[in-house]
Amino acid sequence: MSRIKEFTLPDLGEGLTEGEILAWLVKVGDTIELNQPIVEVETAKAAVEIPAKWGGVVTRIFHEAGTTVEVGAPIISIDTDPGAGPVPSAESLAAVAVAPEEGAVEPGMIGGPAPGGRTAVLVGYGPKTAIAKRRPRIGTPTGTTTAAPAPIAPAAPGVVQAGSAPAQAAAGPVASAAPARADVAGPVLAKPPVRKLARDLGVDLTTVAGTGPHGSITRDDLQKAAAAPTETPVTETVATRAAAPSAAVFDASREQRIPIKGVRKLTAEHMVASAFTAPHVTEFLTVDVTRTMKSLERLKARPEFRDVRISPLLFVAKAVLLAARRHPMVNSTWSGATNEIVIKDYVNLGIAAATERGLIVPNIKDAGRLTLRELADALTALVQTAKSGKTPPSDMSGGTFSITNVGVFGIDTGTPILPPGEAAILAFGAIRPTPWVHKGKIKIRQVTTLGLSFDHRIIDGELGSKFLRDIGGFLADPEAALLSWT
């Protein structure tokens, strides 16, 4: 049995056909253990870490991070018995196999074939690799070396090489005819009084041609330069044109392209299928949740909830679970294959979570059976796992009812689209202090707006309205509802 094992990309659940390698957790040469995480892969469901099936030494990684690999393709090879010595390479085996049968010498011996097709020789023998040197010609003084002309590479068609006769003819007298500037020949000749006058007049001495002895600048030269009209330098005109705003460009250089893959691709496919399959209806209800916020503060002060992170979402989730118990038809699915409505006696409560890879909706299995403390723990774990990108595919399948908390983004409410296979979804908006009629008087109360979208094939207007009304009634007075509904 071969000691080199090739690990293939496994099927991570529900018939997924491919996955994208996000990051390798090991590298070639690392010693790994059984079930040690070796690679992070993103599928159409979530990002997961895949453990090693064998322990050993990593010998090869087939695909770099960012590559999409089909299920069943090899992704890494592992030497499961690294203590048995090095594994012979294919090149070395081939070198030994082609050695002649007669007069063969052991590979590596002098005069015999060496790995790689070479011939082993003694140091100082064998083919010369040094560059040959020409002996000095007769008559050349000792110590003088005659430099050989450098080879001239053939010029491209239509290109004249520098130094050739046509090139020199084309250049003509341009180089020799260029006049020498006076300001680069040496320092400007001017007496101290003349320099002071130049500073007072604001004249640059390097721009003035001197008429005095040896080309020195005189006071008359400065007066003429100051009286002459100022010309706009060419460089200033060019700079001004360069500073002018260029015409707007609308092309790929100002665009960003994001590949549609993984979670985002699957979410898009599901949303399109849901939007054009289930007839959506959305209803809204504005609720005074002042008592819910007060109950939340009292709940945080209780000993059993002091180490738990709880939010208003906990009460919304509890309200949905209790209202679904009153109206079981809301927690159902439409089966077009059997022409049936399947009512679920369990609630797998999905919570929409925005992640870096897109929107996912993991769900809490059988949430209706959990106590308030257990529900709070499950919500906390679900959100933390989703933010870390480690949600397993099993947590995102089998949902029966979902909540999307758009209030955390400061949004009042919305018209959410149903996840495939579910009959209803609730949007929970932001809680804001709002003027509200309370006991016949206008007071500032904590108010939120709920939005319920449902499949009109299963839920008609009456059922949807009653379900949403019961959720609002629970949030208006959660303590009374917990006592009377349970």
Which of the residues are catalytic?
456
Exposure class string for 328-363: b at 16+ Cβ within 10 A, else e? ebbbbbbeeeeeeeeebeebbbbbbbeeebbebbbb
**Helix/strand/coil for 266:** helix
Write out the DSSP string of 16-53: --EEEEEEES--TT-EE-TT-EEEEEE-SS-EEEEEPS
321 and 356 Cβ atoms separated by less than 8 Å: no
374 and 349 Cβ atoms separated by less than 8 Å: no
CA–CA dist 321, 467 (Å, integer):
11
Report the helix count and the strand count for the chain, using DSSP H and E: 12, 21
354 and 386 Cβ atoms separated by less than 8 Å: no
Question: 174: Cβ–Cβ under 8 A, 6 or more apart, which residues?
Answer: none
Return the H-helix or E-strand segment holding 67.
none
Residue with tokens 């979670």: 263
Write out the DSSP string of 330-356: GSEEEETTTTEEEE-SS--EEE-EEET
Query: How would you class 365 by CB atoms within 10 Å of its CB: exposed for 0-12, middle for 13-18, buried for 19 or more?
Result: middle
CA–CA dist 445, 290 (Å, integer):
6
**Cα-flanking dihedrals φ and ψ of residue 32, to 5°?**
-120, 160
CA–CA dist 22, 39 (Å, integer):
8
Tokens of 258: 């994001």
CA–CA dist 260, 68 (Å, integer):
12
